[in-house]
Amino acid sequence: MNHSPALPPVTVLGLGPMGQALAATFLGAGHPTTVWNRTAGKAADLVARGAVLAGTAAEAVAASPLVVVCVLDYDAVHAVLDPAAGELAGRTLVNLTADTPGRARATAAWAAGLGAGYLDGAIMVPTTVVGGPSALVLYSGPESVYEAHRPTLACLGGTAVHLGADPGRAAAHDVALLDVFWTAMSGIVHAFALASAEDISAADLVPYAKGIGALLPDIMDDFARRIDRGEYAGDGSDLLSAATGMEHIIHTARGHGLDTGVLTAAHAVARRAIDAGRGSDSFALLAETIARTPA
């Protein structure tokens, strides 16, 4: 480990799995690293590797010009930082906690009121990838603040993207991308349940399920073109056909007494478009149908 005096100190608040990965990465890159966590015992490995464990969040903030916070959500961010707010003036807070775009903007305003620079960030990869070439971290907030800390943040690895001055923009990408992820995850576990009910083991289904996953990148490109142009003319596969396929799944799952909540909800959106006379259009049209759904 090389604590080069040339590298600026970094503080990491929050030592869940991701906070530990972040702190270990800064430490490994040679940044003097101060850590703090509500549950202090989680700092033991980092301290053994050279991190300094602060006694309070305020002491941790005071230790570095760059303070990274990564906890459960923004309620936890405020639980950690409100008692340390007096130390934030003149420092930069990089909030890598996931939450909503609105809360990112509110937290940016809160930090500005304290005289702190603020970047909001979204980590789009698991802990094991942090610091490596496949890492992806999205940032938003003032460009000057990002540029000032870019060399330090670059050690988190892979690709770092500054998405603009609006502090909510990283979180906006995060929620949209996690919409893809969690909706897909829900489909994956439902498919395994359905397969199991039909005496197909998960291992037997996987090779074919991966084939379905491999179709999705081209579909995303096609949908993006259609959605950005607002052109939804059916092209070989239309909404009516898609909704009928969804019904086969729902009927089979119901026959086995399985929960069908996720697909029933998705099917209802498709039906709404079909009932509005758009059954021959592309499935991509549903991006507009969803946007018009009354709350």
Ligand X SMILES: NC(=O)c1ccc[n+]([C@@H]2O[C@H](COP(=O)([O-])OP(=O)(O)OC[C@H]3O[C@@H](n4cnc5c(N)ncnc54)[C@H](OP(=O)(O)O)[C@@H]3O)[C@@H](O)[C@H]2O)c1
Residues that bind ligand X (CB under 6 A): 14-19, 37-39, 42, 70-72, 76, 79-80, 97-98, 123, 126-127
Cα–Cα distance measured from residue 276 to residue 247, given in angstroms and rounded to the nearest whole number: 19
Per-residue burial over 215-243, b if 16 or more Cβ lie within 10 Å, else e, is: eeeeeeeebeebbeeeebebeeebbbebb
Per-residue burial over 99-124, b if 16 or more Cβ lie within 10 Å, else e, is: bebebbbebbebbeebebbbbbbbbb
- Dihedral Cα 224, 227, 229, 233, nearest 10 deg: 110
- Measured from the CB atom, the residue of 37 and 282 that comes closer to ligand X is 37
- Measured from the CB atom, the residue of 16 and 167 that comes closer to ligand X is 16
Q: What is the edge-to-edge ordering of all strands in the sheet holding 52-53?
A: 52-53, 33-36, 10-13, 66-69, 92-95, 117-123, 136-140, 159-162
Residue with tokens 């799952």: 253
**Beta carbon of residue 214, minimum distance to ligand X (angstroms, whole number):** 24
Coil vs helix vs strand at 282: coil
**Beta carbon of residue 14, minimum distance to ligand X (angstroms, whole number):** 4
Per-residue burial over 41-67, b if 16 or more Cβ lie within 10 Å, else e, is: ebbeebeeeebbbbeebbbbbbbbebb
Cα–Cα distance measured from residue 74 to residue 103, given in angstroms and rounded to the nearest whole number: 7
- Measured from the CB atom, the residue of 25 and 37 that comes closer to ligand X is 37
**Beta carbon of residue 42, minimum distance to ligand X (angstroms, whole number):** 5
- Measured from the CB atom, the residue of 72 and 233 that comes closer to ligand X is 72
- Measured from the CB atom, the residue of 77 and 284 that comes closer to ligand X is 77
Measured from the Cβ of residue 268, the count of other Cβ atoms closer than 10 Å reads 12
**Beta carbon of residue 30, minimum distance to ligand X (angstroms, whole number):** 23
Tokens of 243: 């909704």
**Closest residue by beta carbon to ligand X:** 16
Measured from the Cβ of residue 81, the count of other Cβ atoms closer than 10 Å reads 26
**Beta carbon of residue 189, minimum distance to ligand X (angstroms, whole number):** 18
- Measured from the CB atom, the residue of 80 and 263 that comes closer to ligand X is 80
Cα–Cα distance measured from residue 86 to residue 205, given in angstroms and rounded to the nearest whole number: 56
**Beta carbon of residue 196, minimum distance to ligand X (angstroms, whole number):** 27
- Measured from the CB atom, the residue of 19 and 141 that comes closer to ligand X is 19
**Beta carbon of residue 207, minimum distance to ligand X (angstroms, whole number):** 26
Cα–Cα distance measured from residue 58 to residue 292, given in angstroms and rounded to the nearest whole number: 46
- Measured from the CB atom, the residue of 98 and 286 that comes closer to ligand X is 98
**Beta carbon of residue 111, minimum distance to ligand X (angstroms, whole number):** 17
DSSP 143: H
